[in-house]
Amino acid sequence: MPKETIFSKIIRGEIPADIVYQDDLVTAFRDISPQAPTHILIIPNKLIPTINDVTPSDEQALGHLFVVAAKIAKLQGIDQSGYRLIMNCNKDAGQEVFHIHMHLLGGKHLGKLVH
């Protein structure tokens, strides 16, 4: 299990990022390669490599991801028009950084992802 990721360094402020929200459980910052006008990553401050590594002790932080996502969507002005939340697990799903993270995407019509 990794002990350190680029996200760990962003959480601690060692690598610059456009942080839009941070508290004791989660950190949210703008994606450096946005796929929509609003593209923000929301991550637990605790390093959890993949969704497969989640334990019952992580429930509060992971539930908090959704509370923070709704708060950020409102602050970004996309809560009423709509937004998408995405989490990838492992390489076949497209996970590149092995520190779980939620993508918040919005600010334009995103179309259907699945039927």
- Residue of 39, 64, 99, 101 marked active site: 101
Q: What angle do CA 97, 108, 17 make, to 5 degrees?
A: 35
**Residue 105 identity (one-letter amino acid):** L
Cα–Cα dist 21/110, whole Å: 24
DSSP 23-42: -SSEEEEE-SS-SSSEEEEE
Q: 101 catalytic, yes or no?
A: yes
- What are the phi and psi torsion angles at 47 (to 5°)? -75, 115
Whole-angstrom Cα distance, residue 12 to residue 34? 22
Catalytic sites, residue numbers: 101
